[in-house]
A and B are shown apart, each in its own frame.
Chain A
């Protein structure tokens, strides 16, 4: 299949691997920022065939994983209200709040619906004028433009029964936090190709310069990732710290300006809580004053929840690349996908889920 097979081709991968082996002279630690990249790496086995000394650590780019537990509890409370049709992407339904998940709310009678696009939720609002339709808008710069578009559409149509529970996070502030940490041992970064498709590369130049790290925007297929790793290692070996673009079939330097425009028409940059990591200044998007009528947090004041995180869950360290999933004592024991202690074990982009799904055999041998 075009645009797929050539980026999963084993012969191409082996060729890049051979080239990589030729240029490596010393150990390097590389972080792939996006959880989708983590899954592709672990699924294809790239992490197992890299030359000795090249270590991949997994970054915070899992939108489900970093959504604060307080926001999930808020979602559960809103979804339980009888007048509400609560719409969410499928991935979010199984993520545990303090006590339960959205599937549990659904089984208790809540009208929880899985949608594939925020515009579907707008359509539901149009068709159900006597109900309140709430869309759970989470994610990075990748999902924010679509969610903004849904609000703009609802505003155009004057749909007063549509609102959005937004919890949007931004990549560059998180990257800066990780780089500034004294515990950081990452030498180079693979930036998330889909985030860069929206935002372009401009946000990364200062970071690369300030922290003296190479940053390569990479796609999400195995060939993209291995090529991205090669590009990072080449810079590290040559001692350069540039921003480079491996994913040129999708990423333009300026990004998608239409998407950015829609995003900043509806959202403004705000401080944001990251589950497992903490409050990061100016690292999220909140609905701005002009569109406040579409903000579910204002529409449904459900109060401040005291949210309980599992004491055993170390997903914050996993999300910062400081711990590998199988270094957690609960991994595969108390914490499994059907009974997760933290979101990293649930999401299709979570590092713990990737290791549990594909790599238990490898660990057993280690």
Chain B
């Protein structure tokens, strides 16, 4: 079919245009061509290839985990990834933090007219690679093209479905006094990669986003231990937001030791310069887990056997003191509150 289109009198506009046109989202011939020439070569599988308005799925046994997320990151391309792999990994991670195995995702694009096909190819290529690594299939999708100025280049929404296996019960409300808190690696890499790659910073860094699918690590943890009470990928709001949500949901106190928190040197330097606490900075390839104390060593061992969890460390524990509050134990032995982030982190004046 694609051969026919390129042979008709009016040559394929996709070949003619270097950028996305309003017509590519019109639902007409240009839209069809976008799907067939661009999306199917990247994402094609027997469900998507049918090009029906919906995907018909035969789920494996177990409970469904269903999630959705929108991605509007600026800049679209950043050290360590782009909006495409971020959108796939983000949804895969949201599914698997319940202990579910992710199977299917949907992809929906909102594209500003004039967006370059070259950039779109880079994004789709990153999405394809991320989906392959995570072992998920793109089974349905949508594209809208909006007038210039109505969106910032490209926005992507992904939704996903996974299956929670028998006997798995992981939730923010399940923390128990005595649990240990484990972090899979360094904090703050994604957020600082984004912040320092924005145009108006006068210094350059080598910070790369940590965007990665975590379902492999989650599967390994759950295969080796059934004492995991809560798991979360600490994205917006960072580790601080995750721990605060847990402390409130489970009505327990959490105590973190200041000197155990892993922060890469370039991230720490940039945070110090800007007056930002890395515990509030977004991560896109990290996992925090609350596990029964006796199971903590084996969970850390399991995590360290995976690429995404090779720097896993114990960072704190759940206590019966100060329910709903997260505290950091300082080097001087005093406690200070690690509060919920209020809004955007704002660099200080001097």
- Chain A positions within 8 Å of B, measured between CB atoms, are 1, 4, 8-10, 13-14, 17, 36, 42-46, 48-49, 63-64, 89-94, 114-117, 119-120, 138-140, 142-143, 194, 222, 337-338, 348-349, 356-362
Contact = CB atoms under 8 A, between A and B. Distances in A.
Contact of B350 (A13, A36, A359): A36
Given A8-B331, A143-B350, A42 B342 contact: no
A200 to B, nearest CB: 17
Given A45-B332, A358-B336, 7 more contacts: A10-B331, A45-B336, A49-B333, A94-B343, A94-B346, A114-B346, A143-B350
B265 interface: yes
A114 B274 CA distance: 13
6 contacts: A43-B330, A89-B349, A115-B200, A143-B349, A357-B336, A361-B335
Range for the number of chain B residues in contact with chain A: 20 to 34
Interface in B309-350: 322, 325, 327, 330-337, 339, 342-344, 346-350
Contact of A64 (B275, B332, B333, B349): B349
Contacts of A43: 330, 336
A138 B331 contact: no
Q: Which of A116, A117, A356 has the largest number of chain B CB atoms within 10 A?
A: A116
Contacts of B259: 10
Contacts of A91: 346-349
B269 interface: yes
B272 interface: yes
Interface of B: 200-202, 259, 265, 268-269, 272, 274-275, 322, 325, 327, 330-337, 339, 342-344, 346-350
Given A10-B332, A44-B332, A49-B334, A348 B346 contact: yes
A139 B26 CA distance: 53
A348 B274 CA distance: 12
A60 to B, nearest CB: 15
B332 A349 contact: no
A124 to B, nearest CB: 9
A358 B329 CA distance: 11
Contacts of A348: 275, 346, 348
A-B interface, 3 closest residue pairs, ranked by CB to CB distance from nearest: A45-B334, A10-B331, A90-B346
A43 B293 CA distance: 29
Contacts of B333: 45, 49
